[in-house]
């Protein structure tokens, strides 16, 4: 073999080795970056999940207090309901409205009344997803969270329902309606937005 040919083969071999080394380092760097990105994603997902659970728990507790208010009073007036619901809404600002349902699952009262007056008398049985969640709350005697559903006149969202019982007598449900976009906007983490 001629010297020139040996030099040419050596150059090709060196270039091949360099390309292989660059590919290996690039692949290793890409793999490390992917692992780092997966780790960061898991951390953000855990943080967001914790925020969502915390917000739902806050709403559950406030709604349960409203149901307990009904259970502990012999008779509740609309004015008393409005006062207690106003305080509850301050604790749960993501609630669009707080309806009080009678035992037949019709809206008896609603807070705030002005913009929601059209819902007084609304029969929950005509809203299949909401009805299912209301029945589950009554059957379990615990606060229930609905699946995502179409809120009456307010877009996509979900509801939390707390049943009220005195002894074994069902008094009705109190409901917190939340628009999904409002809820998840409030839950978004600055890291996610960045």
Phi and psi dihedrals of 168, rounded to 5? -110, 10
* Residue carrying the six token digits 């040419």: 8
Q: Point out the residues of the chain with pLDDT beneath 70.
A: 1, 10-11, 14, 18-19, 21, 189-194
pLDDT of 30-43, one tens digit each?
777 888 888 887 87
Predicted local distance difference test score (pLDDT) of residue 122: 93
pLDDT of 109-135, one tens digit each?
999 988 888 899 999 999 988 999 999
Predicted local distance difference test score (pLDDT) of residue 190: 59
Predicted local distance difference test score (pLDDT) of residue 1: 60
Model pTM score: 0.74
Predicted local distance difference test score (pLDDT) of residue 28: 73
């Amino acid at each position: 073999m001629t010297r020139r040919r040996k030099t040419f083969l050596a150059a090709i071999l060196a270039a091949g080795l360099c390309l292989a080394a660059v590919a290996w380092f690039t692949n290793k760097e890409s793999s490390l970056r992917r692992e780092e990105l997966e780790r960061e994603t898991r951390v953000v997902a855990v943080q967001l999940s914790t925020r969502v659970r915390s917000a739902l728990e806050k709403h559950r507790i406030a709604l349960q207090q409203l149901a307990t208010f009904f259970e502990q009073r012999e008779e509740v007036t609309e004015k008393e309901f409005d006062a207690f619901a106003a305080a509850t809404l301050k604790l749960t600002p993501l609630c669009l409205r707080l309806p009080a349902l009678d035992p037949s699952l019709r809206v008896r009262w609603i807070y705030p009344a002005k913009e929601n007056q059209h819902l007084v008398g609304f029969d929950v049985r005509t809203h299949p997803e909401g009805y299912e969640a209301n029945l589950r709350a009554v059957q379990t005697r615990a606060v229930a969270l609905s699946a995502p559903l179409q809120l009456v006149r307010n877009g996509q969202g979900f509801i939390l329902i707390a049943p009220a019982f005195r002894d074994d007598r069902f008094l009705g449900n109190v409901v917190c309606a939340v628009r999904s976009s409002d809820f998840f906007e409030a839950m978004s983490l600055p890291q996610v937005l960045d």
